[in-house]
Structure 1
Amino acid sequence: MMERLEKNGNSSFSLLGGPLYRVGCYTGLIRSGTDSVPLGVAIGVFFWLGLVAVTLVQGVTDQLFTFSLVGDHVRLLVVIPLLFLFESMLNPRCADFVNYLVRSKIIPEGALPALEAAIIRTRRGVDSWLPEAVFLLSAIIFSLLHLATPLLGVSTNNDPNVSVHITQAGDWYWIVSMSLFRFLVLRCLWQLGLWVYFLWRLSRLPLHLIPTHPDGFAGLGYLEVVHVNFLPLVIAISSVQCSAFAEVFIGGEMAFEAVYGVFLVILLIDAFLFIGPLFLFSPKLWDCKVQGLNEYMDFAAHYVEDFEKKWIDSKGVSDEPLLGTADLQSLADLGNSVDVIREMGWVPVSKRLLLSFTGAALLPLLPLALFKYSSYELMINMFEGLFGL
């Protein structure tokens, strides 16, 4: 079984599947079996062009290309491709992580059947047509009932008094494009849920964790490499909210300072969705740290006692020359090992990952600064901050 997983580790685990994935493979818009970005771009552009075509027929193109409806364009041309970029980036890293678990023996040989069972169950959820059917039906019903979203902005509400949604172009956007958008968001959340489910199953296995592992997380540091691929989703979430803010700012319906509170909420949502699942391993990492400290402290106590008898105690002076002895280096290495265990994290998240998520969430917010400051003022402030003036 170990040989089978080592050989097929990258191909046996995948978060790509379902009817839409198969359509993308059939049409050639998914390349190499994992690159679905062309499919996302094609979907976004197609429905955006459909919206433009309807406005041209009706002669209301001037209403579409206004800043108050920037959310329409952001969702179709930016967010939808980002959703497919996310799955294209994440899937290979997830497969590599599973392969790494087998190669590094973090999954003991006796637990390999349980790992294979977790992979099979996850694949069943990925390949099933039922979730996507439910998501599509739910998205259509949501749009037909003309329900407003909790987001701010003209393009998030089917209100005939404030937007072009009284037109056929508005119906196209709200019923067709927004239904598609909601379907793709639900599909993306389903993939995230399957990954969390797999991590939960993995956290229940008897993992062979090593407290002195140089990654600082007993061998699970590779999870950070996996979760950094959630950055496209972080940018997508911020982009949707920022486009909604832009729509209300242009109408003077909200003060710019309201952004600060919402940005904090966005960070909390990102942390819950993309960092929260890593806490599943906290109990095992904490136990590994405590047990490692106990074992290495006990080992260190015996070693330093023997070291003192050999080199310090006058009654036990060794005939071995002090210069060049390996005992000193071993003592230093032992101290370094204990320090590694002391500093070992109980959640496989580093400051670098947190800063990456924060920067990605902040990136779409930067254009909003133009609503409060002119480009000249921004350049002057940047110049003064750079040179400390």
Structure 2
Amino acid sequence: MKDQKSSSSADPIDFIIVRNDLPIRWQRRIGLAPDNGLGVARRALFFAMFTWLPIVIWAALESRLLDRASGEPLLAHYGVHVRCLVAIPLLILAEGMALRVVRTIVAQFIENGLIIDSQRDRFVQIIKDTTDLRDKAFPWVIVFALTLLWLIGVPNSIHEHELSWATLDAGLGFGGWWFLYVVRPVFTILLLGWLWRIGLIFRLFYLFSKLDLALVPAHPDAMGGLGFLQKLPKAFVLVTLAMSAVLASRWIHDSLFHQIALETLKLPLLSFAVLWGLTVLAPLFVFSAKMISTRKKAMREYSALLSEHGRLVHQKWILGQNIGERDILDSPELGPSADIETIYAAVKNMRMIPIGKSCIMPIIVPIALPMIIVAATQIPLMTILTTLFKALV
């Protein structure tokens, strides 16, 4: 496959967000990942089984899988299963989607003519430097260190209720320890890894924004030709879904078994949606300064152009003056006054940040889908769907 070429033979303007970073290199050494590629399907299946099966087997042997005599059984703790069978696989499968989306976005800087010839070498160097940073070990050493600090610093009592199925008379059983020191670290490392990748894209876009980009103020996308950047949140759809699923699974348990009211979940849900949304959109904000300066400059230039065009039209057709041959009146690019006013309006409507509805939906939808199930524990599903339909149409 094209995205599985070695780094040495890759196109210099071809940026791959996931390829040879430290965890992938380790997994290739043990045969879990292929030599050329990511092997996301096999890795997702492996880590799902690796994290989940030991817990289920232990719970079954200890009669804690279905038996309520010892308290809430393992099957009633949806968060454990969703974390292992849904969230962890999604965080791995997301690598393939992010690879394709980010690769396409970076290529469009060239394809859309935003990189002028004098800036191309710098553009290529930025990609090379970011690729080198992607493959360094130290960011992942920090990820592992933060995960270790999380394991040491956060008391096990914070998971006391979630581990009630694993509590024996003598203390926490094997299943509980496996969740704390295998499942939790795997999930945390994968999640922190995605935060690092978003940071990497932030750096890449920040350096792009410092180039002399050939923005088009009157571009139909109302973003100077940067409208394609709105695809970025699609790269993290599965990451967003994984996080939302983990939250929803815990809240479903609390709703069904502990009668937690939905009203109490509104603030945590809103906080998560806002914080995660800002995180995903952060790389797009770096273009704001460039877009603002481009719009300001264009407003002055197009205003002067429109004034000159209008003045000549008024002199020729209203005052009946002989203005001679004027290129500005005969230019097919500008056309009649109505056309030039349309161009000016397009410049005036240019946004100051490359964010629109198509950019927000890939964040909101994967957050909302698991939450519909949470709401369905207390509100009839048809009522929820009808409300959503009315809100959308």
Give TM-score scaled by structure 1 length: 0.82
Which residue does the alignment assign to 1:175?
A: 181
Which residue does the alignment assign to 1:92?
A: 100
Compared CA separation, residues 385 and 21, structure 1 to 2 (3 A): closer
Q: Equivalences for 1:149-188 in 2 at 5 Å?
A: 157-158=159-160, 162-165=164-167, 166-188=172-194
Q: Equivalences for 1:1-389 in 2 at 5 Å?
A: 8-9=11-12, 11-24=14-27, 27=31, 29=33, 33=37, 36-62=40-66, 66=74, 68-140=76-148, 142-143=150-151, 147=155, 157-158=159-160, 162-165=164-167, 166-252=172-258, 254-316=260-322, 329-373=335-379, 377-379=380-382
Compared CA separation, residues 69 and 370, structure 1 to 2 (3 A): same
State whether residues 101 and 234 of structure 2, in contact with CA within 8 Å, keep that contact through their aligned partners in structure 1.
no
Q: CA deviation at 1:56?
A: 3.2
State whether residues 295 and 348 of structure 2, in contact with CA within 8 Å, keep that contact through their aligned partners in structure 1.
yes
Deviates most, 201-210 or 135-144: 135-144
Q: CA deviation at 1:68?
A: 3.9
Q: d(CA) in 1 for partners of 2:106 and 2:386?
A: 47
Which residue does the alignment assign to 1:321?
A: none
- CA displacement, residues 251-285 of structure 1 (integer Å, 9 cap, x when unaligned): 32632211222221122112211123311111110
Q: CA deviation at 1:338?
A: 0.9
State whether residues 55 and 179 of structure 2, in contact with CA within 8 Å, keep that contact through their aligned partners in structure 1.
yes
Q: Give the partner amino acid of 2:216.
A: I
Q: d(CA) in 2 for partners of 1:233 and 1:370?
A: 23
Q: Give the partner amino acid of 2:187.
A: F
Q: Give the partner amino acid of 2:219.
A: H
CA RMSD, aligned part only? 3.3
Q: CA deviation at 1:125?
A: 2.4
Percent sequence identity over aligned pairs: 21
State whether residues 30 and 38 of structure 1, in contact with CA within 8 Å, keep that contact through their aligned partners in structure 2.
no
Partner-residue secondary structure (3-state), 2:286 = helix
State whether residues 40 and 84 of structure 1, in contact with CA within 8 Å, keep that contact through their aligned partners in structure 2.
yes
Which residue does the alignment assign to 2:7?
A: none
State whether residues 108 and 206 of structure 1, in contact with CA within 8 Å, keep that contact through their aligned partners in structure 2.
yes
Give TM-score scaled by structure 2 length: 0.82
Compared CA separation, residues 305 and 383, structure 1 to 2 (3 A): closer
State whether residues 36 and 87 of structure 1, in contact with CA within 8 Å, keep that contact through their aligned partners in structure 2.
yes
Q: CA deviation at 1:230?
A: 2.1
Q: CA deviation at 1:297?
A: 1.1
Q: d(CA) in 2 for partners of 1:293 and 1:386?
A: 40
- CA displacement, residues 84-126 of structure 1 (integer Å, 9 cap, x when unaligned): 2332112222222222212333223333333233222221222
Deviates most, 286-295 or 84-93: 84-93
- Which structure: greater helix fraction? 1
Q: d(CA) in 2 for partners of 1:111 and 1:191?
A: 25
Compared CA separation, residues 383 and 305, structure 1 to 2 (3 A): closer
Partner-residue secondary structure (3-state), 2:355 = coil
Q: d(CA) in 2 for partners of 1:202 and 1:222?
A: 14
- CA displacement, residues 122-151 of structure 1 (integer Å, 9 cap, x when unaligned): 2122212333344235424533555359xx
Compared CA separation, residues 287 and 44, structure 1 to 2 (3 A): same
Compared CA separation, residues 356 and 309, structure 1 to 2 (3 A): same
Q: d(CA) in 1 for partners of 2:84 and 2:333?
A: 65
Q: CA deviation at 1:42?
A: 2.6
State whether residues 75 and 240 of structure 1, in contact with CA within 8 Å, keep that contact through their aligned partners in structure 2.
yes
Q: d(CA) in 1 for partners of 2:74 and 2:160?
A: 17
Q: Give the partner amino acid of 1:83.
A: L
Q: CA deviation at 1:370?
A: 2.6
State whether residues 217 and 285 of structure 1, in contact with CA within 8 Å, keep that contact through their aligned partners in structure 2.
yes
Partner-residue secondary structure (3-state), 2:78 = helix
Partner-residue secondary structure (3-state), 2:77 = helix
- CA displacement, residues 279-327 of structure 1 (integer Å, 9 cap, x when unaligned): 1111110111111111111111111222233333334499xxxxxx969
Q: CA deviation at 1:368?
A: 0.9
Number of equivalences: 368
State whether residues 206 and 286 of structure 2, in contact with CA within 8 Å, keep that contact through their aligned partners in structure 1.
yes
State whether residues 119 and 211 of structure 2, in contact with CA within 8 Å, keep that contact through their aligned partners in structure 1.
yes
Q: d(CA) in 2 for partners of 1:22 and 1:13?
A: 15
State whether residues 119 and 212 of structure 2, in contact with CA within 8 Å, keep that contact through their aligned partners in structure 1.
yes
Q: Give the partner amino acid of 2:299.
A: L
Deviates most, 77-86 or 245-254: 245-254
Q: d(CA) in 2 for partners of 1:194 and 1:380?
A: 42
